[in-house]
Amino acid sequence: MAESNGTDAAVRIDATHAAAPLQALPALAMAALGIVFGDIATSPLYALQEAFGAHGVRPTEANVLGVLSLTFWSLVGVVSLKYVLFIMRAHNKGEGGIMALLALAQRALREQPRLRWWAVMAGLAGASLFFGDSVITPAISVLSAVEGLKVAAPGLEAWIVPVSVLILVGLFAMQRFGTARVGKWFGPVMLVWLLVIGLLGLASLLKRPEVLAALSPHHALEFFLRNGFAGFTTLGATVLVLTGAEALYADMGHFGARPIRFAWTTVALPCLLLSYFGQGALLLGDPLAAAGPFYRMVPGWALYPMIGLAALATIIASQAVISGAYSMIREGIQLGYLPRMRVLQTSSQVRGQIYLPAINTILMVLVLAATLGFRSSSALAASFGIAVSGTMLMTTILALVVARRTWHWPLAAVIPLAVLLLVVDLAFVGANLMKLGSGGWFPLALGTVVFTVMVTWRRGRELLAAQIRSQGVPLEPYIASLREYPPTRVPGTALFLTTDPTSVPQALMHNLKHNKVLHARNVIVTVEMLDEPDAPPGQRVGVEDLGGEFYRIQARFGFAESPDVLTALDACAVRGLGFELMETTFFTSRENIIAGDRTGMARWRDLLFAYLARNAMPATAFFRIPDNRLIEIGRRVVI
């Protein structure tokens, strides 16, 4: 699932979510192939191998038809019907992805705090599992591509892990440079990849066309009846064909719904089905090919070129999910669920191309650990399924909330849809939970850590804000007292950043207390992060004259934007409040948080929050305030 990425061909859909013009459809669809479909397009490398491999069912004719039937109806039912027709309707002013969906659900449940809390927990759980997905996708994708070496030359099997590690290290090393230059090749490469695997599958299918009988759903039903519990656990492998399905929804902000739907129905879905059915046809004739059916379809002369093409495709798939992790983390920061950290824009043309150095390092360490620890795509497959199915379940829950509360669908429509979607998702999750001991623990452990960090940071910020408010002095009576007992004024403008626009900023009080002066003009600035991707132009800033040369500014930014206070101040000029930067001094207070014995959170969470706060990027740097115009005043706050 890629939260957000882009190429120079990508066109961000505006807030009205207008359809892409028909003349731009081919270019957008081509770009979407490289960004949106990289993950799901590389699933044929390992999905059926896991279903029939060492941990799967025997590749008998009946089982092959049963698994292919499950594969077909999963792609059609989950991707085409659930995501393309239903989930993609739940856009947040053009933006998709689980964090955007969480913002929609929160807005829909604003008047019901208890349900809103549960929706937040579901959204954060899904986002946490996506982080696990972001770790496993590069490892399993690259490993599965390089594993073609053991088919081409069994003596090279020992080189699979070292070569995979080199590719992954290079992939993460290039992140700082962005993908603006090479991104234009992602679409053509993925188009070639899909066409090649589709043609290989077609050639194999023509040899055993009876495999097309799997299009009938009765083969899937008979598969469960015949295999019992083993058939149910096979769903843990079947879900692998859906890896990356959320990308169709998540990248709407870059391409719009129409190009993604067009690319899926005309290229991606047909080619994927041909590849899977071709592998199934191969297994009907040669059950021993179950150890690696994808590469067994490739003619001997084409093995090495195919390994190279697979490596390129998996690098693109990994790039998409890494960029998605960056975007999800940034949205989490903007929405107040993660501490501030450095975000670099790597393209002047495409907003979604960003780079987070800290997250890149963490991801690289975890991906390399997964690669060296599991050492094969088959071993990682058990881990992958639970991350994918868990995220899909949380997306379904939030989308149903939006359908009922925002779209006002009647219960007669929502309940049957909920039963159908939740039964499927819970079946996938349940099957993957059977694999906890063989690797499923890995994404759950990663997700638990990320979830703990997010809920602790959010709760800690609430406690911190409450503590600051309890010590605050009401702003307007304070200004009135200054008019009655005016202090010495000095030329210039003082701009005070604060989280509470109704209280006197601590920096203002300390400046007046210690320096005995007040600037000629004083401005209280509060930055508000909205639960929508972009702040409407007319609502970017709000200016209020408090009298006595005191002003209050509310600067608003969307969760997909990079907050810039100077840009917001420039927008104040049209409201009669201009700023000359060389005559303006920025004041802010920086809290040194101490874990105390107050109620609100367990002590270990207090300590974790204090640690995160100490290592978070300063708000002044995050909001792009120039250092040479800044005065910071520190204070201790016990939570």
Look at residue 451 and tell me if it is in a domain: no
Decide which of 394, 421, 439 is a domain's last residue: 439
C-alpha distances (whole Å) from 193 to each of 38, 124, 187, 196, 317 are 10, 34, 10, 5, 12
For 128-142, how does the pLDDT look when each residue is reduced to its tens digit (9 = 90+)? 998 988 899 999 999
Neighbours of 87 (CB within 10 A): 28
Tokens of 239: 């879900």
For 172-183, how does the pLDDT look when each residue is reduced to its tens digit (9 = 90+)? 998 888 766 667
Q: Phi and psi dihedrals of 488, rounded to 5? A: -70, 135
Per-residue pLDDT, averaged over 34-40, amounts to 87
Decide which of 439, 455, 487 is a domain's last residue: 439
Total domains present in the chain: 2
Q: Which pLDDT does position 179 carry in this prediction?
A: 66
**93: helix, strand or coil:** coil
**332: helix, strand or coil:** helix
Q: Which pLDDT does position 17 carry in this prediction?
A: 40
Task: Tell me the pLDDT of the chain averaged across its residues.
Answer: 87
Look at residue 564 and tell me if it is in a domain: yes
For 503-546, how does the pLDDT look when each residue is reduced to its tens digit (9 = 90+)? 999 888 888 888 888 999 999 999 998 888 888 877 889 999 99
Q: Which pLDDT does position 597 carry in this prediction?
A: 72
Is residue 472 located within the same domain as residue 576? yes
Look at residue 611 and tell me if it is in a domain: yes
Q: Which pLDDT does position 22 carry in this prediction?
A: 66
pLDDT of 629 higher than 90: no
- In the 3-class helix/strand/coil scheme, how is 462-531 assigned residue by residue? HHHHHHHHHCCCEHHHHHHHHHHCCCEEEEEEEEEECCCCCECCHHHHHHHHHHCEEEEEEEEEEEEECC
Tokens of 288: 């021993």
Going by C-beta distance under 8 Å and a sequence separation of 6 or more, which residues neighbour residue 65?
Answer: 211, 213, 214, 219, 223, 280
Is residue 393 located within the same domain as residue 486? no
Look at residue 321 and tell me if it is in a domain: yes
Look at residue 14 and tell me if it is in a domain: no
d(CA 368, CA 377): 13
| 635, β-bridge pairs | 591
For 317-358, how does the pLDDT look when each residue is reduced to its tens digit (9 = 90+)? 888 888 888 888 988 898 889 999 988 877 665 556 788 999
**Composition of the chain by helix, strand, coil, percent to 5:** 65, 10, 25
Look at residue 359 and tell me if it is in a domain: yes
- CATH number of the domain at 371, please: 1.20.1740.10
Is residue 295 located within the same domain as residue 423? yes
pLDDT of 29 higher than 80: yes
Q: Which pLDDT does position 434 carry in this prediction?
A: 86
pLDDT of 596 higher than 80: no
Domain that holds residue 498: 467-638
Decide which of 421, 439, 457 is a domain's last residue: 439
Is residue 429 located within the same domain as residue 472? no
Look at residue 11 and tell me if it is in a domain: no
Is residue 435 located within the same domain as residue 477? no
Is residue 191 located within the same domain as residue 267? yes
For 535-589, how does the pLDDT look when each residue is reduced to its tens digit (9 = 90+)? 887 788 999 999 889 999 999 998 878 888 888 888 888 888 888 888 899 988 8
Is residue 399 located within the same domain as residue 499? no
- Confidence band of 198 (pLDDT split at 50, 70, 90): very high
